[in-house]
Amino acid sequence: MRTLITGGAGFVGSHLCERFLAEGHDVLCVANFITGNPVNVQHLLGNPRFTFVRHNVSNPIELDGAIDNILHFASPASPVDYLRHPIATLKVGSLGTHNMLGLAKAKNARYLLASTSEVYGDPERHPQREDYWGNVNPIGIRGVYDEAKRFAEAMTMAYHREHAINTHIVRIFNTYGPRMRLDDGRVVPNLMGQALRGEPLTIYGDGSQTRSFCFVSDLVDGIYRLLQCDFHEPVNLGNPNEVTIREFADEILALSGSKSTIEFKPLPQDDPKVRKPDITRARTLLGWEPKVDRHEGMRQTLDYFRGKLND
C-alpha cells in the first residue's frame, strides 16, 4: 500500500504518517509549511518507506507510480491561521481538493477528505448529527474556512457520483495533542502555553461557549477505520464529552498547578456558541469510540508543551 497524506507535516497529519507507516504502508507526505512544521516529521525522514515532498497542493502535482490512498489534510485549521491566510485557505479547500480528487481518479485511489465540524457553523441543533446542514455565515471572517470545506465536501461527493471514486469524508471536531503549534492560536495551545508561562489565561467572551475535545490518537484510529469501509457520506469523529471554555481553563490551571489568573477578552465574530458531535454513525459503522479521558490527554499535551518551552 502506498498512501499520500497532504498536510502530513501538520499536527494531525504527522500522527497519520506515523500510523500508516506502523500499519506497513509506504507514506508520501506532501505539505508546504504555511502552518505546519518540518520538525513534526523529522524523526520519520530516515525511514525508507517515508518520502517528503514540499509542494503547495493548490497547484497541480504529478507523481510517478501507484498510489492506493489519498488523505487530503492540507489546510490551515486554526481560526487565527485561516484569518491570516484567507485566500490560501479558500484555495486549498477548493483547488487543492480538486487537484487531489483528480489524482485519486488518475491513480484509482481511495480518497479521504478532512472536513470539519465548522461545516455546521454556529449550530442551531445540538448535538450535531451528520444530517444537519448547518448555520454558516458565508461572508463572515470564518467563511473562508467553512465554505472551503463545504465546497470540498460537495466536490468529493461529485467525484464519487460522477466518477465512482471511493471517497470518504470525516468531519473532525476539536482535536488536540502533542505537535500542535504553541502559537497556532487555538484554545488548547493558547491556554496551556499561558498556564505554563504563568501568564493570564485569555478567555474570549464569558467562557460559557462549549467545545468537545478529542485526543489525537482517538481521531487517528477513527480515520484509519473509516478509510477501510465503503461508506461515502460524512462521518463525525470527535469526543462527545462537552465542556465550557471557562471549565476547560480551570482544568488546565488545576492540572498544570499554575497560579495564572483569567483575563476575559472580546468574543470573535461568529464564534460557535456550542459544539458537540453526535457519534452514533461512527459507533455503528466503525465500532469506534474515543478512549482517551480528557484529563489524561491534557496531561500528555501539557508535558509536550512543557518540553517545547524548555527547548
145 is catalytic: yes
Residues 6+ apart with CB under 8 A from 11: 36, 40, 77, 177, 179, 180, 181, 184, 216
* Choice from 233, 251, 270, 271 touching ligand UDP (CB under 6 A): 271
246 grid coordinates? 471557562
Does residue number 276 form part of the binding site for ligand UDP (CB under 6 A)?
no
Does residue number 268 form part of the binding site for ligand UDP (CB under 6 A)?
yes
Contacts with ligand NAD by CB under 6 A lie at 6-7, 9-13, 31-36, 56-58, 73-77, 92, 96, 114, 116, 172, 174-175
**Comparison of 251 and 271: residue with beta carbon closer to ligand UDP:** 271
Q: How far is the CB of 198 from ligand NAD (least distance, A)?
A: 26
Within 197-236, which residues bind ligand UDP (CB under 6 A)?
202-204, 209, 211
**Comparison of 9 and 279: residue with beta carbon closer to ligand NAD:** 9
- Compute the distance between CA of residue 239 and CA of residue 218 in angstroms, rounded to an integer: 9
From the list ligand NAD, ligand UDP, none, pick the one residue 210 interacts with, judged by a Cβ distance below 5 to 8 Å according to partner type.
Answer: none
Q: How far is the CB of 255 from ligand UDP (least distance, A)?
A: 17
CB 277 within 8 A of CB 127: yes
For 194-216, letters b (16+ CB in 10 Å) and e give bbbeeeebebeeebebbbbbbbb
Q: How far is the CB of 110 from ligand UDP (least distance, A)?
A: 28
Within 179-198, which residues bind ligand UDP (CB under 6 A)?
186-187, 190-191
Q: How far is the CB of 57 from ligand UDP (least distance, A)?
A: 22
Q: Which of 109, 95, 94, 73 is nearest to 223 (CA)?
A: 73
Of 82, 111, 120, 145, which one is the catalytic site residue?
145
- Exposed, middle or buried, 177 (CB in 10 Å: 0-12/13-18/19+)? buried
Give the 3-state secondary structure of residue 287. Answer: coil
Q: State the DSSP H helix or E strand holding residue 17, giving kind and residue range, or none if neither.
A: helix 11-22
- Compute the distance between CA of residue 223 and CA of residue 238 in angstroms, rounded to an integer: 11
Q: Which residues are catalytic?
A: 145
Q: Which residues bind ligand UDP (CB under 6 A)?
A: 78-79, 174, 186-187, 190-191, 202-204, 209, 211, 245, 267-268, 271
